[in-house]
Amino acid sequence: MHTVNVEIQANKPYNYPIFIGNGILEKAGSYLKRYIKAKKLLIVSNQTVYSLYGEQVKKSLLAEGFNVEILLLPEGERHKNINSLEKIWTKAIQYKLERKDAIIAFGGGVTGDVTGFAAATYLRGIDFAQIPTTLLAQVDSSVGGKVAVNHQLGKNLIGNFYQPKIVIADTAVLSSLPLTELKVGLAEVLKYGFIEKTCGLNKINSSFIDFLEKNKDLIFSLNPSILEELVKYCCELKACVVNKDEKESGLRAILNFGHTIGHAIEKCYGYNNINHGEAVAIGMKGAFFIAGAKNLIDENYVQKSINLLDDYKMSYKIDKNFTPDDLYESMQVDKKVQAGKIRFILPVSPSEVRIFDDISKEEAITAIKTLY
Ligand SMILES: NC(=O)c1ccc[n+]([C@@H]2O[C@H](COP(=O)([O-])OP(=O)(O)OC[C@H]3O[C@@H](n4cnc5c(N)ncnc54)[C@H](O)[C@@H]3O)[C@@H](O)[C@H]2O)c1
């Protein structure tokens, strides 16, 4: 079992633990008891996750004396919206949740994002905890306090920064995750390899890329100790970035490595027939091609990185149904565009990236053309 501490430097400094371990779900109640003063808990989940692990969690919460109510939301990204939010608010009101009570997100990133936003807004904010059950949620979305719902005009447009009291990541639950969902998380894991040094974690003494190269087979076979180590290290890297820049006024943008092109691809696909991991994997390749063409990095590092992505079965291509110009157009309306400038996070040396606001349209389009 590992613990990662997330420290937020705000007006009122704040910290919380992430517990990571194989099989720790059955102790969820005792972990929560230490960090949450609530009597009543509203657990928000979905049918898939709850039917697999719900009873186990409920039993451990009841054993600690919590009163528990369950709300199952319809699953999928298209339900990360105001309707799901309303369902949580309504249930919380009917269940008479008070300020001292708490809402628990139990599921993947969709559940975490919508539940976190509901907790941030119900009674102007009540305690919130995360029990992430996808790899993406364990290494990324449950860490750092971004909570949001989608608007019909765009993804994650309505949200807030709202940190949980505690995160409990049981790596054993990843065994029921479909391979496609595992790979969505792995795309973000690979991203941490490419940005590792820029995250600023002091204790780096070997390369995460080397770890990922060496342990690929163990990772795909869900080796328990390797998975724990992997989730822990990704959480440490993200916690380090969030500690320095909670609200994305600077450094936190590096977490969007691969996402400039990735988001544009998702948008062009209308968020159908491609998942986030596939889009980000293509986007990371695009970032390597731009950096290679600008001589920011040498050809060996470009090739090594592309090989690593391919080894992780991330050899995705863009459909020809839309053009590089369509994609560039899409990038210009992303919410991360500032003062009309498209922001690229590009590699500048192994495991180091920098933020660029001056990539020309020609440079971007030339790289995008290699992604078909
Ligand atoms: N807040 C952040 O910082 C942040 C960061 C990255 C992504 N996100 C958001 O995360 C969302 C994507 O999250 P996701 O990839 O976890 O998708 P998801 O929550 O939709 O989960 C994917 C699927 O896996 C199922 N599932 C979950 N756990 C399972 C398990 N253990 N076994 C079997 N099936 C399981 C779910 O029911 C769902 O069908 C997006 O909305 C994205 O915007 C947020």
- Cα separation, 45 vs 241, whole angstroms: 28
From 44, 48, 170, the mutation candidate for ligand 1 (largest count of ligand atoms within 8 A of CB) is 48
According to DSSP, the residues that pair with 352 across neighbouring strands are 349
Q: What is the pLDDT of residue 205?
A: 67
Distance 150 CA to ligand 1 centre (A): 14
Q: Which of the residues in the chain have pLDDT under 70?
A: 204-205, 335-336
| Contact criterion met (CB below 8 Å) for 351 and 291 | no
Other CB atoms within 10 A of residue 263 CB: 24
| Residue whose entry in the numeric block shows the structure tokens 């600023």 | 200
> 3-class DSSP state for residue 240?
helix
Domains, the chain, in order of start with CATH, read 2-176 (3.40.50.1970), 185-369 (1.20.1090.10)
Pairing of strands 2-8, 14-21: antiparallel
Model confidence pLDDT, tens digit, residues 147-201: 999 998 888 999 999 999 999 999 999 999 999 999 999 999 999 999 999 999 9
Dihedral sign (CA 231, 235, 236, 241) = positive
Atom 3 of ligand 1, residue of closest alpha carbon:
141
pLDDT at 249: 87
Catalytic residues: 124, 146, 188, 238, 248, 252, 256, 259, 263, 276
Task: Burial-class residue 272 by CB neighbours within 10 Å (0-12, 13-18, 19+).
Answer: exposed
Pocket of ligand 1 contains residue 262 by CB under 6 Å: no
In this structure, what are the phi and psi dihedrals at residue 319, rounded to the nearest 5 degrees?
-65, 150
pTM: 0.96
Distance CA 224, CA 219 (A): 9
Q: Is 56 in the pocket of ligand 1 (CB under 6 A)?
A: no
- Residue among 44, 77, 141 to mutate when testing ligand 1 (max atoms within 8 A of CB): 141
pLDDT value, residue 204: 65
Dist. CA 270 → ligand 1 center (Å): 18
260 alpha carbon – ligand 1 mean position (Å): 20
327/268 Cα distance (integer angstroms): 7
Find out whether 316 and 269 touch, Cβ atoms under 8 Å. Answer: no
Closest by alpha carbon to 257, among 196, 301, 183? 196
Residues in the chain: 372
